[in-house]
Amino acid sequence: MYKKWLGTIAKCSLFEGIAADELRGVLQCMNLNLNEYKKGDYLTIAGNEFSQIGVVLSGTVALIKETASGSRVIIGLIGAGEMFGEMAAYSDKKSWPMTVIAQTNCTVMFFSKNKIVGCCERVCTSHKRLIMNMLKVVSNRALMLNKKVEYLSIKSLRGKISTYLLEEYTKTGNNTFQLSLNRNELADFINVSRPSLSRELGKMRDEGLIDFHSTAIRIKDIATLKELSE
């Protein structure tokens, strides 16, 4: 069932340091469920009963936070080999804190949280490694969420845009790159309206800070963007 996905599963941080032959045994212990979703399908809705942790095997899913007014904020995009649900898994929460939507057609595997911290029926030699990896994943996620709070605390729209573009620049190492989000998604991500985002991007282009076409961006004045993001 999962054999065709072994390469992708091995890239997941949860299985870091586990040899390929051991990985097969670990996966057998986990009683995996594999599900396929079409773009726009809901994997789960905030408030639904929490029961399993997910790992994306193909495609991309979006983590969505909905406000009381009905607006949506994209908390993050999860791609192949990445995990979601681990932050809520071992808390007192009994329900999903966020809505998870298929950003593209995707395949996702789910497993019970008890398969990590519970007793291993096969007494896997890699079970200790799984627990340590999960602790590492949760800790890193907490640090990223703290960074997200700092990001959202930036008051100016231009500052938010500059920060986002600089983060993308750092990831690619190139001043010309493709955005991972379209305009609507980016507006949701930095919590502004689509028209406001488009106007500000246009102003930044007119001032010679950036240039763009569709989702392709070229940073022309890195120094100024760094000043704006501070």
pLDDT in tens, 117-133: 765 555 456 777 888 88
Same domain, 110 and 130: yes
- Among 107, 134, 152, the domain boundary falls at 152
**Residue 105, domain extent:** 3-152
Average pLDDT over residues 18-29: 84
Same domain, 27 and 82: yes
* Between residues 22 and 143, the one the model is more confident about: 22
* Between residues 217 and 91, the one the model is more confident about: 217
> Cα separation of 88 and 99, whole Å?
13
- Name every residue whose Cβ is closer than 8 Å to that of residue 69 and which is 6 or more positions away in sequence: none
- Among 152, 178, 201, the domain boundary falls at 152
Same domain, 99 and 179: no
Q: What is the CATH number of the domain that holds 69?
A: 2.60.120.10
What confidence tens digit (pLDDT) does each residue in 144-190 have? 677 667 767 888 999 999 998 998 899 888 999 998 788 888 887 77
Structure tokens at 87: 């932050």
Same domain, 12 and 96: yes
Same domain, 134 and 163: no
Same domain, 105 and 179: no
pLDDT of 29 higher than 90: no
Q: What is the CATH number of the domain that holds 213?
A: 1.10.10.10
> Cα separation of 215 and 179, whole Å?
5
- Predicted TM-score (pTM) of the model is 0.65
> Cα separation of 80 and 64, whole Å?
18
Same domain, 88 and 169: no
Tell me the pLDDT band of 61, cut-offs 50, 70 and 90.
very high
How does the average pLDDT of the chain come out, rounded? 86
The total number of structural domains that make up the chain: 2
User: Percentage of the chain surpassing pLDDT 90?
Assistant: 42
* Between residues 218 and 147, the one the model is more confident about: 218
Same domain, 147 and 129: yes
